[in-house]
Amino acid sequence: MMSLKPSPIAATNAGNLDGWRSSHHGALHIGHISLIEIAKRHAEKVAVSIFVNPTQFGPREDFKKYPRPIETDLTKCRDAGSIWFSALPKTRCIAKISAELQLDMPGLSAVLEGRIRPQHFRGVCQVVAKLFNILSPQAAVFGQKDYQQFIIIKSMVQSLDWPVEIIPLRPCAIPTAWR
């Protein structure tokens, strides 16, 4: 168990946080709340960000139709308790990254899902990097439901020598009522 520090911990599952829940798409379910619960075990401050990342959507995926039940999501965050703050960043603030700067882990992101969605993991890396830069968390909790994404984020953090502990959360069954 790590020692408590004044910096926040990020509860995240980037591809869906996401979030601090670093770059999290909205529509929180029990799996996302589990990320918060794990984060609360490791730090006194937990930050949650809900952000639908346009850079993770491919050409045949409809970004505009992705559900965004913000009030419901914020209620779930409040009910989870011990949240330091919840953020709802604007796309123009978070996803605005210069075309000259591209974060990617091509050796990991060009295979499996990355072959089908070539821009997806670059979008994940760019937004998670920006959120980590804003928050400076001591740790971040990522779900392993998307194991490839988990490995890419962990590798990015190691490659950039960021002092962020990446804490894994195994996938859990999601009751229909939480979907």
The mean of the pLDDT values for the chain is 75
pTM of the model: 0.76
* CA angle (81 as vertex; 127, 13 as ends), nearest 5: 25
- Catalytic residue of the set 24, 25, 32, 42: 32
Q: Provide the CB-side half-sphere exposure for 147 (13 A, CA).
A: 4
pLDDT digits (tens, 9 = 90+) for 145-168: 889 999 999 999 999 999 999 999
Q: How far apart are the first and last CA of the chain?
A: 31
CATH number at residue 134: 3.40.50.620
Q: Domain range spanning residue 73?
A: 9-178
25 is catalytic: no
Number of structural domains found in the chain: 1
